[in-house]
Amino acid sequence: MVRVLGKGARLWWWWWWWWRQVAVMVMVVVVVVASWRQKYYSEHLLKSLEGSLPADDPELLHYLREQVLEPPSAGPYNPGIDLLKIPVASVAFYNSSVEGLFGGEVRRERERERERERERKRKRD
């Protein structure tokens, strides 16, 4: 069954289709112009391809300070986390992973090491 659209519906569909095509073309032109104007490399990269740059090159230092490096915060130092908890958690994770891989061997080796320490202490006393 073929549905025949009235004249108004056909005009609306054509108008919608035409404006959609115009919008897509405008977006494509904007993306092409934006990417054409943007440089994906710096002039310093091109200079460094010719040979090594001196460490005190004023243009390079200006580029690094303005484009690459971010200045430190003016606020007080506050890492926001307890730094002592991180090593403890990572050591616990490491130990559990090693025990999981090697099973009882690690436990037995730790017990042997503790026994040696006890023997050393007894000999000293």
The CB-based long-range contact list for 90-97 (8 Å cut-off, 24+ gap) reads none
Please tell me the number of Cα atoms within 13 Å of 97 on its side-chain side. 6
Residue 78 within a domain: no
Q: Token digits for 13?
A: 């569909």
Quote the CA–CA distance of 75 and 88 in Å, as a whole number.
28
Residue 80 within a domain: no
Q: What is the structure's pLDDT at 51?
A: 81
Handedness of CA 108, 109, 112, 114 (dihedral sign): negative
Residue 74 within a domain: no
Cα distances from 99 to residues 47, 62, 90, 95, in angstroms, run 53, 52, 14, 6
Q: What is the structure's pLDDT at 115?
A: 92
Q: What is the structure's pLDDT at 45?
A: 72
Quote the CA–CA distance of 90 and 82 in Å, as a whole number.
13
Q: Could you tell me if 13 and 42 lie in one domain?
A: yes
Residue 75 within a domain: no
Mean pLDDT, rounded, of the chain: 76
Q: Could you tell me if 53 and 89 lie in one domain?
A: no
Q: What is the structure's pLDDT at 119?
A: 92
For the segment 20-45, the average pLDDT, to the nearest whole number, is 80
The most confident of the ranges 18-27, 31-40, 68-77 is 18-27
Number of domains in the chain: 2
Determine the structural domain holding residue 105 and report its residue range.
85-124
Q: Minimal CA–CA distance to 91: which of 99, 101, 82, 81?
A: 99
Residue 43 within a domain: yes
Residue 76 within a domain: no
Residue 115 within a domain: yes
Helices 85-102 and 104-124 pack at an angle, to 10 degrees, of: 120
> Is 79 a residue whose pLDDT tops 70?
no
Q: Which amino acid is at 55?
A: A
Q: Could you tell me if 51 and 92 lie in one domain?
A: no
Q: Could you tell me if 20 and 53 lie in one domain?
A: yes
> Is 25 a residue whose pLDDT tops 90?
yes
For the segment 13-19, the average pLDDT, to the nearest whole number, is 81
Residue 77 within a domain: no
Q: Could you tell me if 63 and 97 lie in one domain?
A: no
